[in-house]
Amino acid sequence: MDDRGARAVKTDKPEAAARRPPRGGGSRAAEASLRASAPGLKEKLTAGRRQAEAVLKESGGRACAEFLSAELDTIVRALFEGFDAGGRNESGMSLLAVGGYGRGTLAPHSDIDLLFVLPGRQTPDDHAQVERVLYALWDLGLKVGHATRTVEECLKLSLSDMTVRTAILEARHLGGSKELFERLMTRFDREVVAGTGGTYAQEKLAERDERHRRVGESRYLVEPNVKDGKGGLRDLQTLFWIGKYFYRVRDGSELVEKGVFTADEYRRFLRAEDFLWAVRCHMHVLAGKAEERLHFDIQREIASRMGYGRPEGAEDEEPGMGFSVVERFMKAYFLTAKEVGDLTRIFCAGLEAEQAKPVWGLGRFFRSRRPRVQKLDGDFLLDNGRVNIADENAFRRDPVNMLRLFWTADRQEADIHPDALKLLTRSWSLVDRRLRGNTEANRLFLDLLTSERDPELNLRRMNEAGLLGRLIPAFGEITAMMQFSLYHHYTVDEHLIRCVGVLAELEKGGSEDIHPLSHSLMPDLRHRRVPLYVAVLLHDVAKSSADHSTAGAALARKICPAMGLSAEDSETVAWLIEHHLLMSMTAQTRDLTDRKTIDDFAGVVQTVERLKLLLVLTVCDIRGVGPGVWNGWKGQLLRTLYGETELLLTGGFSEVSRAARAADAREALEAALADWDEPARKALVALHYDNYLLSVDLTDQLRHARFIHEAEEGGKRLATAVETRRFEAVTVITVLAPDHPRLLSVIAGACAAAGGNIVSASIFTTTDGRALDTILIAREFDRDEDESRRAERVGRLIEDVLSGKARLKDVIARRARPKRGARAFSITPQAVIRNALSNRFSVVEVTGLDRPGLLSEITGALSDLSLDIASAHITTFGEKVVDTFYVTDLTGAKIENPARIQAIRERLVSVLDGGSPRAHAAT
């Protein structure tokens, strides 16, 4: 148990160690007394946690954390003194609280960190006493980080290990020798701290940056890490550590006396700290453990606990109708995280002024002690490599300088000095209607937005500093706005800024391998790059509206002329925003081999230039949602839609009749099989109906021909084949089986059970009564060999279920797992049947909450309703599914009878609703 000379570690008690008799010469009477009091201590701990929850509700997060720390103090002191031979402390040992416990703040299920300080070499009695205290704490269910060291060892380790140094910086005396504690702290201050403030600050800020990289660089992740994430509690604690170390203060309020914070800024610090502590404590209480990530499934409950709910009796808004309870709470969270960033900039500016050397500047560190100042144009300086203002009146003298600050940093490719950012934060009253309408200010903004260097960095700097939302009030309304959805990874403002970054990357050619078509179109759009960048920045600016596309277009028609865009460019931006979801939804939810799909889409787009602009905007929008959202299959769908539409808009779409085109396709397939003997060739071609020949390209027809031939040669009535497609990021599973009304339902269920996420399915029937179904599942592995093995497992499971070797219901129940957080969401199930979207099929679109096996249930219901599925287009947006099926009745006709349509709606809604009797059918 003794880890002298090592870093403090958190250790759970091994069962074997728990049964091992203690060593050393401790007091048997003390041991007996503590054993007798252990149940009482456990009850005290439980009661203390219950009382802490009441303190949390009544007095806030910081009060709760301090109350819990005080409760633990009582228990730890009782154990230490009880095991210390009746409290006489004959060894002279000192017990200290360190880490968060040393600060006197604990969340309900936080670990506690202890340091046992010895006056000299450790004795068997010392070892026994430490061991007994730790065992007793473990018996209470606590996790304990601990170390046992002499004063010399503490000081030696502090000089080489920043973790140990920070732990001792926050040390607090709990029991034992007070004189030994004071000796340690006096020597620590004199031998470790003195003269090392700048180095310590740099180390801790570098450590913070590394922590951000580890848990997520953005402070706007929709499931943030409240403790360690950017803008979280640890960032505030880092400021306090540096302040305590550099300014030699014991309390944060002393930073006001030192001139680092104003009184108002320190009040903001305390508000942010109290809010974050409240969130963290509520998370621990709800999870019943040390939970640090604010997951979707607890956000609603915490929002309610913290007073963001509606008045009693009122219902929450529907999505898209203003802010929901969760979204109001999370907006407050993200604004607090942003406040932490503001305070960090202010703090670091004060630190540099005190030290007269740079410590931190938007992620970079500088070593030079002598200021290097270079005069720049206007009211700006290059101060140790960062753009600074020449004097404190620069913004008041000319508010356009607020834009010039960022413009100059962009041109210099330099960071911005914390002094300038601090003054900017204190100058918001200068951002008014006159500045927003200033021609020069708008020119500078458009230069920043379309910069050939790094427009994403420019916008993020402006947003972090609070300028972007003040210059564009509509952008300010969606700043820190969260969308309560598993699909969206970031707040709306962060999403928009990332989309601009994707556009800049496309323009520079950095994504040619991912987006070859979009990349190739960028030179053609050079003359429209300004409206394109503006549209990308503003496409979700009306996200709080019920119809954010239409509302966003209306806003753009007001904003763009004020920015200096021409009437033509302003209208282009408005059109792009109004239709920014059209191409994505058409590509993912419609049959792109259906002529009506292309006709309808082209009728909205109308020109090739708009088509190019919309494609690029769509790519940026999907890529900006978050990691893993974009994939090659979505890219392939967009390329197909683009290609077919461009052909129609340029007059190249074939006007040849369907029958003639089918006859040509039949001849092409027969010619491609010229090396087959004539009877086999004729038989294969005769298997396919016209719809197959017109919908499937020749390459896949030949692959299917070989697959069918091999199955027949092997005497297989049931067979599967797999093909991996790396670029499209999908794997194709082809199934040949006797036709059956519920065949697709069985295949979908088997895929779900095997972990195969279906993105598309094409269903064809051969003339001899067999089904040839092509299923596309999302790729999981990078290596083709691994993906092929996985796809073959999916194929075998499909064969097992179809052949009766496995029961579908059992394999789904055993293998399929719901997504974490899905239970937190509620989506009104809808089923819509449209006859205007296709000339040959009725289009059934269902929307609802995803769950394992849902696609199997839906396709099974369609079969039970005597509907023949021609193709399925499966789209998942986080927890939400939008699945589209092209169907006919069993005679091959559309579904037109109103009563039949209503019956289909009600049945599908019942399935989406989990089979409950309530029926809610969309009209």
Q: How confident is the model at residue 357 (pLDDT cuts 50, 70, 90)?
A: very low
Q: How confident is the model at residue 492 (pLDDT cuts 50, 70, 90)?
A: very high
Would you state the pLDDT for residue 158?
A: 94
Q: Using DSSP, state whether 215 is helix, strand or coil.
A: helix
The answer, yes or no, to whether residue 22 has pLDDT greater than 50, is no
The answer, yes or no, to whether residue 33 has pLDDT greater than 60, is no
Tell me the C-alpha distance between 156 and 200, whole Å: 16
Tell me the C-alpha distance between 423 and 405, whole Å: 11
Residue with tokens 């303190």: 55
The answer, yes or no, to whether residue 542 has pLDDT greater than 60, is yes
Tell me the C-alpha distance between 724 and 722, whole Å: 7
The answer, yes or no, to whether residue 734 has pLDDT greater than 80, is yes
The answer, yes or no, to whether residue 601 has pLDDT greater than 80, is yes
Q: How confident is the model at residue 87 (pLDDT cuts 50, 70, 90)?
A: very low
Would you state the pLDDT for residue 1?
A: 35
Q: How confident is the model at residue 915 (pLDDT cuts 50, 70, 90)?
A: low
Report the pLDDT averaged over residues 487-504: 93
Would you state the pLDDT for residue 364?
A: 43
Would you state the pLDDT for residue 354?
A: 67
The answer, yes or no, to whether residue 117 has pLDDT greater than 90, is yes
CB atoms within 10 A of CB 92: 14
The helix-helix angle for 743-753 and 808-815 (nearest 10°) equals 30
- How distant, in Å, are the alpha carbons of 63, 72, 302, 653, 683 from that of 106? 10, 9, 18, 69, 77
For residue 799, what are its two tokens?
């064969």
Helices and strands: H and E segment counts in the chain: 40, 17
Would you state the pLDDT for residue 366?
A: 40
Q: How confident is the model at residue 82 (pLDDT cuts 50, 70, 90)?
A: confident
The answer, yes or no, to whether residue 706 has pLDDT greater than 80, is yes
pLDDT in tens, 384-413: 888 999 999 999 999 999 999 999 999 999
pLDDT in tens, 246-295: 888 878 788 888 887 888 888 999 999 999 999 999 999 998 899 999 98
Least confident piece of the model among 219-223, 555-559, 674-678, 787-791:
219-223
Tell me the C-alpha distance between 717 and 913, whole Å: 36
The answer, yes or no, to whether residue 823 has pLDDT greater than 70, is no
Would you state the pLDDT for residue 11?
A: 36
Q: How confident is the model at residue 877 (pLDDT cuts 50, 70, 90)?
A: confident
Where is mean pLDDT largest: 18-22, 719-723, 820-824, 903-907?
A: 903-907
Using an 8 Å Cβ cutoff, are 904 and 858 in contact?
A: no
Would you state the pLDDT for residue 654?
A: 61
Would you state the pLDDT for residue 923?
A: 32
The residue among 101 and 691 whose pLDDT is bigger is 101
The answer, yes or no, to whether residue 517 has pLDDT greater than 80, is yes
The residue among 251 and 86 whose pLDDT is bigger is 251
The answer, yes or no, to whether residue 314 has pLDDT greater than 60, is no
Tell me the C-alpha distance between 709 and 500, whole Å: 51
Contacts of 697 (CB under 8 A, 6+ apart): none
Would you state the pLDDT for residue 782?
A: 84
Would you state the pLDDT for residue 621?
A: 96
CB atoms within 10 A of CB 390: 15
H or E segment at 202? helix 197-215
Q: Mean pLDDT over all residues of the chain?
A: 86
Using an 8 Å Cβ cutoff, are 194 and 246 in contact?
A: no
